Chains A and B, each alone.
Chain A
Amino acid sequence: MSKIRDAVDWIEHRTGLETAVTEFLQEDIPNSSGWHQVLGSVAMFSFMVQFVTGILLAFNYAPTPGDAWNSVRYIMSELTGGAIIRGLHHWGASIMIIIVVMHMLQVFIWGAYKKPREATWIVGCVLLLITMVFGLTGYLLPWDNRAYWGTVVTTQIASSPPVVGSYVARLMGVGAEGGIGVVTFARFYAMHVLLLPPLTIILIGVHVYLVRKHGVMPTLEDANKPKRKFFPEQVFKDTIAIFVVFCVLFALAVVARAPLGRLADPTDTNYIPRPEWYFLFLFQSLKFFEGPLEIVGAVILPNLAILALFLVPFIDRGKFVKYTQRPIALSVVAIAALGWAGLTAAAVASTPKSVESAEDIAEPATWQDLTPEEVAGIGYFRQEKCDGCHPGAKGVNGAPDLTKGVHKTAAQMIEHFRQPSELVPGSAMPAITLSTGQLNALAAFLLKLNEKNVDALQSAPQFVVDGAMVYQKNQCSFCHQVNGSGMKNGPALNGVGQRRTKQWLIDHFQDPAKLSPGSTMPPYKFAAKDMDSITTWLMGIPR
């Protein structure tokens, strides 16, 4: 024991560490302090958990769109403890939001932002915003469909205000055509791991310094009562609260697997994007603002709300701190909570079930499940003789097996098709000269391939593939839908074989207005072979 004492004395003599820690812990706090003030410590603890688990994840995470998804899958399914570490980080993000908001509510209800504590409140508001930006930037990093489409919507909203919008878009690396890719990814990653963590640490430091400078907010009754020490009783209460939150978090990490959906697919027209639950209320509120008013819901109202939050100590200068004497302030909290809960509930209720089913890694089992674009992709695969080196889409002699885990995006694949050796140095693959639309179709097909379905997909009869290629070439999907893909300007084509005969389809192609008066479809004069392919294929599309 005296050895430890000697060591502590040695360090104390050189650094003054023991005195500093003792001084920190021996802080005087009001007699009324207690359970209601544990939330600040819990918030700091949840940040520490995010910090540690974030570093651990970074040890096995590849921050580029090409590899991110695959490395997260690797962490989740191939590394021991990886699912728990990511679970702690994923669920910890939600818990941190909850705790930070609860902390803020407590301070609001107790009136602890009043003079001279305005600066403490403002720094706290900044920390709340940072926590939300953490959530927003981290959402993209797994690069699954959820991440991709959620971020597409977010960046579009942020780019919508006039004048500043285009600069915000450029800052977020959003391309001129509105797409997100490597640049956005790099910016979000840099924000999430390089900019925000040190900023948070500095601001937590300032926040705690200010709390210490002004002391914990006393009540009126505290005036006649002796002060108490922060340590050990309040630290004990903080520790219990932290432990309860940690148990909930750990249980979630072990029991509820953090979601990882399908690899982000920019060509997926079926995915229904939804933001993380704590942003759902914003998402829902946008439904009330249409057309030119959209900017009100998307930009003006949220910014006014943030401004109001910052100005709380200047709006409410009343002397009363006891909540029973501040009915207006309490009503504001109640209305905000009701509004938030109502909007969130409405958003949850209006979310179609298919979001869940689109989340799992299920792939199409047969070619009948594919969209016309993907079926046409099979055609280009055959037409370009890809199976010369990838027979049955598998690989031989150094040509990679195309069924083994697709770890590229459609955009990257298309780059690779155009200049194979640019992306894969030393690649012996010849460049493919097809139009962008055709390359898109090829990529869309390859993204759907896996070891189980490869033979079933490859067995699509040639007339089907030819029919789908004619369909793609003539951009039929601009008006028609097949297997849920395409627009609904014209009738959906699933089950058209039950409604019409093949001859009717041929006649209709040649002169739509004659058979369907009022139809806006232009006439198509296909070559005999093309006409036969597309009509035979259409007749066979299941309901």
Chain B
Amino acid sequence: MAEVQSDRRTFFLSFIYGIWGIITAAIAVPASAYLLFPPRAKKAGKWVEVGDFASLKTKQPEEVVYRRTRVDGWKVITEKTSTWLVKMSDSEVVAFAPQCTHLGCAYHYDDTSKDFLCPCHTSAFSIDGKVLTGPAPRPLDRLNVKLENGKVLLGPAGSSNV
């Protein structure tokens, strides 16, 4: 008799744990996908004109402020942002994202040392983006850039080729 009682009890227990396990999983699985998966991609934005190629001096970085449109959660926003343009040759221009690759501080160009300097943890980058000193783990991030009819165009936000 005691054995039958014990069997019944074991059955109840495993059933209770099993059902609650299923319910927890049925909520936890969609909840994890909901919180961790990126939103379904929207169509990419357009190329934005940021300046005249002719006005850039070779090997002389210039910060350009421009307006871009990007998807921010449930909104499409237009915001001011900037990039560092460096004319490498008569036919090539490079656009760097304006944040240090270490922890995202805004860096600046130092005219005397001819380097990009980050004020936070003293990372330094050459004008082609290579790390010279400091804790930065990788070269400066480059944005998609192209030349069209003498204008410099930047690729859609989020399309940097890093």
Q: Which residues of A contact B (CB under 8 A)?
A: 49, 52-53, 56, 59-60, 62, 67, 70-71, 73-74, 77-82, 84-85, 88, 232-233, 235-236, 239-240, 242-243, 246, 250, 398, 400, 404-405, 407, 426
Assess whether B12 is in contact with A80, with CB atoms less than 8 Å apart. Answer: no
* 0/1 string, B1-43, CB within 8 A of A gives 1: 0000000010011011001101100110111111101011010
Total A-B pairs, Cβ < 8 A: 81
Known contacts A78-B39, A239-B15; A246 and B23 CB within 8 A of each other? yes
Known contacts A49-B27, A232-B9, A236-B12; A81 and B34 CB within 8 A of each other? yes
Query: Which residues of chain B are near A81, meaning CB under 8 Å?
Result: 29-34, 37
Number of interface residues of B (CB under 8 A): 29
Assess whether B37 is in contact with A67, with CB atoms less than 8 Å apart. Answer: no
* Cross-chain contact of A404 among B33, B34, B76 (Cβ < 8 A): B76
* 0/1 string, B105-129, CB within 8 A of A gives 1: 0000000000000000000000000
Assess whether B9 is in contact with A80, with CB atoms less than 8 Å apart. Answer: no
Query: Which residues of chain B are near A242, meaning CB under 8 Å?
Result: 19, 23
Chain A residues touching B, majority SS: helix
Known contacts A81-B30, A232-B12, A246-B26; A60 and B73 CB within 8 A of each other? yes
6 nearest A-B pairs in the assembled complex, by CB-CB distance: A74-B74, A81-B30, A232-B12, A81-B34, A81-B33, A80-B37
How many angstroms between the C-alpha atoms of A362 and B9 in the bound complex? 57
Chain B residues touching A, majority SS: helix
* Cross-chain contact of A243 among B23, B31, B80 (Cβ < 8 A): B23
Q: Which residues of B contact A (CB under 8 A)?
A: 9, 12-13, 15-16, 19-20, 22-23, 26-27, 29-35, 37, 39-40, 42, 67, 73-76, 78, 80
Assess whether A67 is in contact with B16, with CB atoms less than 8 Å apart. Answer: no
Assess whether B73 is in contact with A232, with CB atoms less than 8 Å apart. Answer: no
B66 to chain A, nearest CB (A): 10
How many angstroms between the C-alpha atoms of A39 and B132 in the bound complex? 69
A-B contact pairs, 26 of them (CB 8 A): A52-B27, A59-B35, A60-B34, A62-B74, A67-B74, A73-B74, A74-B39, A79-B34, A79-B39, A80-B33, A80-B34, A81-B29, A81-B33, A81-B34, A84-B34, A232-B9, A232-B16, A236-B12, A239-B16, A242-B19, A242-B23, A243-B22, A243-B23, A246-B26, A407-B75, A426-B80
Query: Which residues of chain B are near A70, meaning CB under 8 Å?
Result: 74-75
How many angstroms between the C-alpha atoms of A74 and B32 in the bound complex? 17
How many angstroms between the C-alpha atoms of A81 and B22 in the bound complex? 17
Assess whether A67 is in contact with B75, with CB atoms less than 8 Å apart. Answer: yes
Known contacts A60-B73, A236-B15; A78 and B27 CB within 8 A of each other? no
